[in-house]
């Protein structure tokens, strides 16, 4: 297929999806369908299309073009003039960025599946089928509810999600992988259990990102393991979630926030070595300390937001390394460490000036030293760049000072803004050093 033909196909698919949304909106209005039903029909249609992308296009670039143009279309549908059509996606009674996260999730799963069909189809099938079935079952038959920060989720919906995921995983592992028959049931049950916890604790549409990427990471880490290793991994996860739940009661954190923190660390340890999980863990810890002081940092969704910010930073640097072939671990550590410094700044902003100077200075030095120790423990591939001690220290100090001196700038969306304080300079250093070193 020629480049022109593939470009035309991309535009045709987008036009078809928009036409489906417009027609569905009119039909739903005429029939009085609930917004959740409309949204899930589009969700299933988009997910089904996404599962076929590697076989629809002969090259990778049309897939990324399609996803990029879809993101632009989703943004346009939030404009007032097009909101009637976009209501098919945004009509649920809660703030959600699920449409954007769906496109981002598909793109990341495509990037990392490395030509292995089970690593692509299974995560997207769980997202497309199990998530939609759970939402509709929960809305129709939910009677027993679990309290979450956004309201509540039904245990009936979670049970349906587990069952559909189990069936999907069994079929995908049986037909798309070389997993031994004796391990398929255990692995499928583990995937279903893990994915059910992720779905139950997701918020504001983040399930569209966390589910496919979480399932893919879980698959990469467990494919090829024997049954006992899979069981031990799940026992480790269960013990970790139990441990953070106990700690949550001691620090006034909700059970959902604690579980999300535990899931984040489990996934980090599944894809990287222990030392590279230290600064992300400190980012979570620093935000928890800031949250104890109240303000926007102390709200449940803001506490969850730090995990969303960490996920975007993590997936972003992981994708950058995959696309460029240039290791980004040093800069990932810098971004998360600087974000931790920023949260400490917010935690100390109302303290006496001597505490802000001494306590904050000590915290920044500890984070900076930790960053250097992490870099020293990594392989030579992560140290392709010249030493950047001065630039790194400046990033830590700037993040801390911005938050401790001007905390009012972070009164809203604190976790997002603090994450940007760490991520933006780290990305600029990464790109700048690649250009200087001739790595790109």
Question: Tens digits of per-residue pLDDT, 290-308?
Answer: 877 654 444 556 678 888 8
Q: How confident is the model at residue 381 (pLDDT cuts 50, 70, 90)?
A: confident
In a domain, 210, yes or no: no
In a domain, 184, yes or no: no
pTM for this predicted structure: 0.89
Calculate what percentage of the chain has a pLDDT beyond 90. Answer: 57
In a domain, 364, yes or no: yes
For 429, the domain range is 272-440
CA distances from 423 to 21, 264, 273, 310, 317 (A): 35, 18, 21, 10, 9
In a domain, 222, yes or no: no
In a domain, 348, yes or no: yes
Q: What is the pLDDT of residues 205-257, one digit of tens each?
A: 888 999 999 999 999 999 989 999 999 999 999 999 888 888 777 767 778 88
Give yes or no for residue 149 having a pLDDT over 80. Answer: no
Calculate what percentage of the chain has a pLDDT beyond 70. Answer: 92
Which sign does the torsion angle of CA 8, 13, 16, 18 carry? negative
Query: Domain tally for the chain?
Result: 1
Selected residue with higher pLDDT from 168 and 148: 168
In a domain, 90, yes or no: no
In a domain, 267, yes or no: no
Q: What is the pLDDT of residues 250-283, one digit of tens each?
A: 767 778 888 888 999 999 999 889 999 999 999 9
In a domain, 308, yes or no: yes
């Amino acid at each position: 297929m020629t480049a022109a033909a593939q470009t035309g196909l991309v535009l045709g698919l987008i036009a078809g999806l928009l036409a489906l949304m417009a027609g569905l909106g009119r039909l739903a209005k005429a029939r009085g369908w609930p917004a959740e039903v409309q949204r899930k029909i589009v969700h299933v249609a988009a997910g089904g299309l996404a599962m076929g992308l590697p076989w629809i296009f002969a090259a990778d670039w049309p897939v990324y073009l399609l996803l990029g143009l879809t993101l632009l279309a989703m943004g346009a549908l939030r404009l007032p003039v097009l909101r009637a059509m976009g209501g098919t996606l945004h009509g649920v009674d809660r703030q959600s960025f699920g449409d954007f996260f769906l496109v981002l999730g598909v793109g990341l799963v495509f990037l990392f599946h490395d030509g292995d069909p089970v690593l692509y189809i299974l995560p997207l099938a769980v997202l497309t089928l199990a998530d939609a079935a759970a939402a509709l079952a929960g809305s129709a038959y939910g009677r027993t509810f679990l309290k979450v920060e956004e309201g509540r989720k039904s245990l009936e919906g979670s049970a349906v999600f587990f069952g559909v995921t189990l069936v999907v995983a069994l079929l995908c592992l049986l037909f798309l992988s070389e997993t031994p028959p004796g391990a398929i049931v255990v692995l499928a049950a583990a995937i279903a259990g893990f994915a059910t916890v992720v779905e139950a604790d997701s918020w504001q549409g983040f399930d569209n990102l966390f589910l496919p990427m979480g399932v893919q990471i879980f698959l990469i880490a467990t494919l090829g393991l024997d049954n006992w290793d899979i069981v031990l991994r799940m026992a480790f996860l269960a013990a970790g979630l139990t441990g953070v739940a106990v700690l949550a009661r001691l620090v006034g954190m909700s059970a959902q926030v604690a579980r999300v923190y535990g899931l984040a660390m489990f996934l980090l340890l599944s894809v990287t070595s222990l030392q590279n999980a230290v600064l992300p863990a400190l980012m979570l810890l620093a935000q928890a300390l800031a949250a104890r002081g109240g303000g926007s940092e102390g709200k449940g969704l803001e506490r969850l937001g730090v995990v969303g910010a960490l996920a975007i930073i993590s997936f972003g640097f992981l994708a950058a390394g995959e696309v460029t072939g240039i290791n980004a671990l040093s800069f990932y550590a810098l971004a998360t460490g600087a974000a931790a410094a920023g949260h400490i700044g917010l935690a100390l902003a109302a303290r006496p000036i001597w505490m802000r100077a001494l306590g904050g200075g000590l915290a920044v030095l500890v984070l900076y030293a930790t960053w250097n120790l992490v870099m020293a423990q990594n392989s030579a591939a992560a140290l392709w760049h010249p030493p950047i001690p001065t630039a790194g220290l400046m990033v830590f100090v700037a993040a801390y000072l911005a938050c401790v001196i001007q905390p009012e700038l972070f009164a809203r969306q604190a976790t997002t803004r603090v994450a940007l304080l760490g991520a933006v300079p780290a990305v600029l250093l990464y790109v700048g050093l690649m250009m200087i070193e001739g790595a790109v």
